[in-house]
A and B are shown apart, each in its own frame.
Chain A
Amino acid sequence: MNAANYLVLAGILFTIGAFGVLVRRNAIIVFMSVEMMLNAANLAFVAAARINATLDGQVAAFFVMVVAAAEVVVGLAIIVTIFRTRKSASIDEASLLKY
C-alpha cells in the first residue's frame, strides 16, 4: 500500500477538522474538530517518517500528543467553567473579549 495515500487521508481529515472549527457553535464539537486537526497532523508526520525512512516525524508526533493532552485539560476546564456560568456551550455567546 502506498504511504502517500496516508498523506491524502491526513489532508482530508485536517480539512474536515478545520471546517468543523469554522462552522460549528457548540464548544465541545469545535474542540473535537481541533483534536481531529491535531491527529491529522500526527498522521501526516508519521506517514512522512515512513516515506523518508527517518524517525523525525514519529518524534514530532509524540510532541503533538503531549501538547494535545495538555490542551485538552486546559480547554475542557475553560469550556466547563463557561457552561457553568452561562448555562450554554455556544462559543458565539462568549464574545466579550473584543474591542
Chain B
Amino acid sequence: MTKTEIRVGGLGGQGVILCGSIIGKAAAIHGGKQATLIQAFGPEARGSACSAQVMVSDDVIGYPYVKHPDILVLMSQDAFNQFIPQIKPGGLVLYESELVNPGGQVPAGVRAVGVPATRFAEELGRRLVLNIVMVGFFAGVTDLVPFEAVRNAVLDSVPKGTEDLNLKAFRKGYDYGREQATLIS
C-alpha cells in the first residue's frame, strides 16, 4: 500500500485549507485514490496559524492524522518553524520562497524546493490565488496525482467566474514545479 502524508501550513486567509482540500479532491474524486483531510485553524480569522492534514493512499485510510509528513507545503515562516521538525526522513518540503526562509533548518536528506507563489499570483493580477499557485507547484514537483485530476479539482473548487485566473495560477505553479522537479531529481 502506498500512502503519502501531506501537511499544508500557512496563515489564515492564505487559503491553506482550500489548498489541502484541492489536493485531496484531486486524489480521491479525480485521481482514483483514497484521501482524507483534517483542518486546523486558530481562533482569529486572519493571520493566525492554520494547517491542513491530507492523507493520500491507494488503499482505505484507517487513520487520517498526519504525524510525520512525507510532504510539507508551507506558506509562512511560522508554519515552517512549527512543522519542519516533523518531516519524515527523505521527505519533501515545498515552500513559498518569499515568505519562508529555510535558514539551514532542513534536515539532511530532505529535499526543499521554493516557489515565489505570492509574486506569481500578483503578476497574474490577484494575490488571492497564491494558494492555487502552490497547488500547481505541488502537482508539478510531486507528480503524486495526474495533472488533469488536479486541474479538474481546481475547477471544482473555485467560485464561478474565477476559473480562468485560477487555472492560470495553477498552470504557472505547475510549470515552475516541473522545472524545479528536473533540477532536484
Do A and B form a real pair?
Answer: no
Binding site for A on B (CB under 8 A): none
Binding site for B on A (CB under 8 A): none
